[in-house]
Structure formats: C-alpha cells, structure tokens
Amino acid sequence: MERGKRHIVREVKAGSIAEEMEIEAGDAILAVNGEGIEDIFDYQFLIQDSYIEVLVEKADGEQWLLEVDKEADEDLGIVFENGLMDEYRHCHNNCVFCFIDQMPKGMRETLYFKDDDSRLSFLQGNYVTLTNMSDRDVERICRYHLSPINISFHTMNPELRCKMLNNRFAGEALKKVDAFSEAGIRMNGQIVLCKGLNDGEELRYSIEELMRYIPNLESVSVVPVGLTRYREGLYPLEPFGREDAGEVLSLIHHYQGVCMERFGIHFIHASDEWYILAGEELPEEGRYDGYLQLENGVGMLRLLTDEFQFALAGRGEKGPGAHESAPREVSLATGHLAYPYLARMCAEAEAAYPHLKVHIYDIENRFFGERITVSGLLTGQDLRDQLSGRALGEILLLPQNMFRSGESVFLDDMTVADLEKALQVPVNIVKSSGYDLLDALLSR
C-alpha cells in the first residue's frame, strides 16, 4: 500500500463513521484505498466510494487497516489539524489593485498573506487567478470533477491581464479555463474593475469572451476596485464616480438582457456598490439568478431587505410576544454603503413595534480611508472613537461580516471585549440575514 503524508486528526465528529471505527484525535491517516494522500483534493476524491480501506497510524505507532462500508459520498467525520492537508500556496502576482498592498504596516501577520490556492477555491469559495495552478492541479480538478472553482478573471485580454497582475504568465493562464469547461467543471468568476484599465470597451470584450463558457461558467461579478489611503508608491488608480457607475451598469444590464435571451440566465452581475454610487434602485430578486455572488457583495442588500420584510410580515401575523412589549432601546453600527438600507429597516421596525427605539450609526472608515464603505472592513478603533458618548441603549448590534468566522477580533486586533469595555455596553454580533436582524432588534 502506497503511503503519502501523515495527516493528523484534530477532531472526530460525534456519531460519525470515524468515531464508530475508533479513530481518535492524534491519529494519522496515511492512505485511502492503497493510495497516498497529498492534500484535501485527494482525500475528498478517495473517500467517495461506498467501500473504502483506510490506513490509520495510532498515536503509539500501531497501524490499522480499516474496511469501511458506507453511503457513496458520505463523509467520515474527520477534522484534520490542517484543513487543506497541505501548506497554503502564496500568490506570486503583484496586482495593481491588490488590497493587501494597500494596508498599513503593523497589523497582524496573517492579514498580509496573499493566497492563490485552487484548493481554497473548492473548500472555502476563495477566488484564484490560475497563475499559481500547475498542470497537475488542473488535471486533478478535472479528474476529481471538483466544483465549483471561483476564478478572478479581471480581463480576458491576455496582454492587459499580464499588466494588471504584473505576471507575464497571467494571459497564458486563461487557457486553463478551456480545460475546466471541456471537463464540465462549474465555475464562477469575478472582475475587479479599475478605471481606465479594464472598463469600457475592455469590459465589453471580457463579457463577450466569458459568455462562451456558459453554462459551465455560471456567473461573473463586476466589483469596483477598493482604494485605501495607503497607496503611496502604488499604481495610480482613480475612484469611479456617479457617471462612471451609470455607464458600467448600462453595459452590464445590456448583457444581462442578451444572456437571458440566449441562455436563460443573467450571468453578469454588478455588485451593490455600483447601484448606490449611481443612485439607482437595486434590482429585484429574480435578476440575481439565485444569489451566486453574495460573497462579492452582489445582491447582499436586496436579500437582506427582502428577508427583513418577510420577517416583519411573519411577526405581524403572529402578533407581538410578551418579550416584544416592554420598552427596548438598542443601537446598530454599520458602514456607509449599507447605512441607508439599514436605517430604513430600523424605521420600519420602530413603526411596527412602538416599544422599540433604535439608534443607527453610519461609521466612517478612518482607518483605511473614507473610500472604503463596506462594514466588513471597519475596525474596532473606528467604532470606539465614533460611538463614544453616543446613545447606545441596552446593547450594540454589529454585523457578523466585521469578523472572521467564529472569531470576535476586528482587523486592527481590537476584540469585542475591548470594545464593550470602552463603550460600557454589551455587543451582539448579528448574522447576515434579515430574519436575524429583526430578531436581534426585538429579542433580549
């Protein structure tokens, strides 16, 4: 039996196959079906069969060959010490729009790591440029049929892509999309739009080229470049204005119509920022094709608004409970982008529930600069400085996207506990749905 790397078990899920087979934390998985395991790609593929053999090395060095009968595609319930089962791959590009290059010095080291790992695309939905992907990676993705893969296209002009990514192989890397499409791999794409580089006719060309990959390429988002105040010595980029945003939306709406007529999907999507910058209404739910690009801020505000309306209507049908009749005063802080929408929702909640008083605050991003308007990039110190001395009520509500999953630390290393101490008010981290928002506003 071929032995690969030793992959250490960190945790075994309760009630899982691994628990039944007496696999324990500290054990090492050496091989599955006689094949060594390089990383998560291999592991996920090898455990798919209904009958597998797993070579395990116990903490005392004893080796067990376990025969497992299970449902096809059923997981074993093993959590590894390294979720990727390999080292993370560093990005070798030097993109002119890279946000990490625009961060100040002195932040925690992990925030400066640039990943460009196709395995994280499959596992966590990260976007990859394809420049850091070997031919073997492409072959394994196609062989294992790993989907979806999320790709940062930025432009389909090979020469321009080399310039924008500062990588002479960036244009050639686009050929890997052909291999994925031919293998039936599902993909999603993104374009970070930079004024004077990949907008206008270049954007038109990119959209038309990307349409060739439908239906395997399911969606493409267009997001404006984020510009912080730390750009000294970097490529000179300018922010988009209201008229620019209107032109971008006009182009995207045109191709949404073309794609809907030809393929039955809208395909190309503008992030929420474009609509706010242009002063246009957000599209209706049906224009988002099932919200495939929420992580890129595409449809996030539409979904939040609609869910909040449904939640209000649902509570109205049931009538207010006892916990919704006592006076309640709360506060909510958000970024400039979402503020008008959240302010409207809070006003609707106050109208429906007269006992409720909500103080909502539009927090300016002084840390990264006023051009950064999303709540996910607000820091603890900006919240502390701008909320000090303000009416906060009995609790301060903050959106979950200010934090990494499962953590309560802001980008500047301030913790929720630090903020609570500074403001003398408890903080509640609210999940990013309209239902959770209304519940947090009303419920103690």
Query: Is the confidence at residue 321, as pLDDT, over 60?
Result: no
Query: Within a domain: residue 343?
Result: yes
Alpha-carbon 425 to chain mean position: 29
Lowest mean pLDDT among 108-112, 310-314, 340-344, 411-415: 108-112
Q: Domain of 308: which CATH number? A: 3.40.50
Range of the domain at 329: 302-442
Residues 358 and 384 in one domain: yes
Residues 23 and 51 in one domain: yes
- Would you list the DSSP string of 172-192? GGGHHHHHHHHTT--EEEEEE
Query: Within a domain: residue 145?
Result: yes
Query: Within a domain: residue 128?
Result: yes
Structure confidence at residue 73 (pLDDT): 79
CB of 429 closer than 8 Å to CB of 396: no
Residues 228 and 313 in one domain: no
Neighbours of 421 (CB within 10 A): 11
Cβ neighbors of 442 (< 8 A, separation 6 or more) are: 315, 323, 324, 328, 349, 353, 356
Count how many domains the chain has: 3
Q: In the listed set 46, 80, 114, which residue is the last one of a domain according to the structure?
A: 80
On the question of a cis peptide bond just before residue 215, with omega within 30 degrees of 0, the verdict is yes
Residues 307 and 373 in one domain: yes
126 against 254, higher pLDDT: 254
Residue 286 burial (10 A CB sphere; 0-12, 13-18, 19+): exposed
**Mean pLDDT for the chain overall:** 90
Query: Within a domain: residue 94?
Result: no
Q: In the listed set 244, 263, 297, which residue is the last one of a domain according to the structure?
A: 297
Residues 128 and 277 in one domain: yes
Residues 108 and 247 in one domain: yes
Q: How far apart are CA 204 and CA 210, in angstroms?
A: 10
Cβ neighbors of 158 (< 8 A, separation 6 or more) are: 170, 171, 172, 174
Q: How far apart are CA 160 and CA 216, in angstroms?
A: 24
Q: How far apart are CA 373 and CA 334, in angstroms?
A: 9
Q: Domain of 61: which CATH number? A: 2.30.42.10
Q: Which residue has the tokens 């209201």?
A: 242
Q: In the listed set 50, 80, 110, which residue is the last one of a domain according to the structure?
A: 80
Across 192-199, average pLDDT: 97
Structure confidence at residue 322 (pLDDT): 41
- Report helix, strand or coil for 221: strand
CB of 388 closer than 8 Å to CB of 419: no
Lowest mean pLDDT among 24-33, 108-117, 231-240: 108-117
Query: Within a domain: residue 133?
Result: yes
Query: Is the confidence at residue 291, as pLDDT, over 70?
Result: yes
Query: Within a domain: residue 431?
Result: yes
Structure confidence at residue 48 (pLDDT): 86
Q: Cα angle at 150 between 148 and 153, to 5 degrees? A: 140
Query: Within a domain: residue 89?
Result: no
This prediction has a pTM of: 0.83
Residues 36 and 116 in one domain: no
Dmax of the chain from CA atoms?
70
pLDDT tens, position by position, 121-168:
555 557 888 998 889 889 988 988 888 899 999 999 999 999 999 999
Residues 142 and 170 in one domain: yes
Lowest mean pLDDT among 2-11, 297-306, 390-399: 2-11
Query: Is the confidence at residue 86, as pLDDT, over 80?
Result: no
Query: Is the confidence at residue 21, as pLDDT, over 80?
Result: yes
Residues 112 and 59 in one domain: no
Neighbours of 337 (CB within 10 A): 22
Q: Domain of 198: which CATH number? A: 3.80.30
Residues 262 and 334 in one domain: no
Residues 309 and 360 in one domain: yes
Cα-Cα-Cα-Cα dihedral sign, residues 125, 126, 129, 130: negative
Backbone angles phi, psi at 174, to 5 degrees: -65, -20
140 against 69, higher pLDDT: 69
Q: How far apart are CA 346 and CA 335, in angstroms?
A: 15
Query: Within a domain: residue 107?
Result: yes
Lowest mean pLDDT among 75-84, 243-252, 376-385: 75-84
Structure confidence at residue 124 (pLDDT): 55
Structure confidence at residue 414 (pLDDT): 94
Query: Is the confidence at residue 383, as pLDDT, over 90?
Result: yes
Across 299-314, average pLDDT: 95
Residues 290 and 330 in one domain: no
Q: CA nearest 395: which of 351, 342, 439, 340?
A: 439
CB of 303 closer than 8 Å to CB of 295: no
Quickly count helices (H) and strands (E) in the chain: 14, 15
User: What is the Cα Rg of the chain in Å?
Assistant: 24
Neighbours of 331 (CB within 10 A): 23
Stated as kind and residue range, the H or E segment containing 255 is helix 242-263
Dihedral angle computed from the Cα positions of residues 266, 163, 367 and 346, in that order, rounded to the nearest 10 degrees = -10
Query: Is the confidence at residue 320, as pLDDT, over 80?
Result: no
CB of 133 closer than 8 Å to CB of 152: no
